[in-house]
Amino acid sequence: MEHGAAHDSVWDCGRARFDLTERVVVMGVLNVTPDSFSDGGLYPDADAAIERALAMVDEGADVIDVGGESTRPGADAVAADEEQRRVVPVIEGLRRRSAVPISIDTMKASTARAALDAGADIVNDVTGLRGDPEMIGLAAARNCGLVVMHMQGTPRDMQQAPRYDDVIAQIRQYFQKRLETTRAANIRSERILLDPGIGFGKTVDHNLELIANLRGLAAGLRPLLMGVSRKSFIGKTLNVDTSERLEGTAAAVAVCVWNGAACVRVHDVRAMRRVADMTTAIRRRVRPGIAAA
C-alpha dist (Å) from residue 89 to 132, 187, 244: 23, 28, 31
- Pairing between strand 10-13 and 16-19? antiparallel
Catalytic residue among 265, 270, 273, 274: 265
Catalytic residue among 230, 231, 245, 273: 231
Q: For the chain, which domains are there?
A: 6-283 (3.20.20.20)
Indicate the DSSP class of residue 285.
T
**Cβ atoms 271, 250 nearer than 8 A:** yes
- For residue 162, the model assigns a pLDDT of 77
- For residue 227, the model assigns a pLDDT of 97
Query: Is 163 known to be catalytic?
Result: no
Query: Is 285 known to be catalytic?
Result: no
Distance between CA atoms of 97 and 244, rounded to whole angstroms? 32
Task: Give the total residue count for the chain.
Answer: 293
- For residue 267, the model assigns a pLDDT of 96
- β-partners of residue 147 are 124, 193
- Pairing between strand 225-226 and 263-266? parallel
Of 217, 223, 219, residue with least CA distance to 190:
223
Please give the average pLDDT of every successive group of 10 residues along the chain, which has 293 residues: 56 96 96 64 80 97 94 78 95 97 97 98 96 97 96 68 89 96 97 96 95 93 97 96 96 98 98 98 90 53
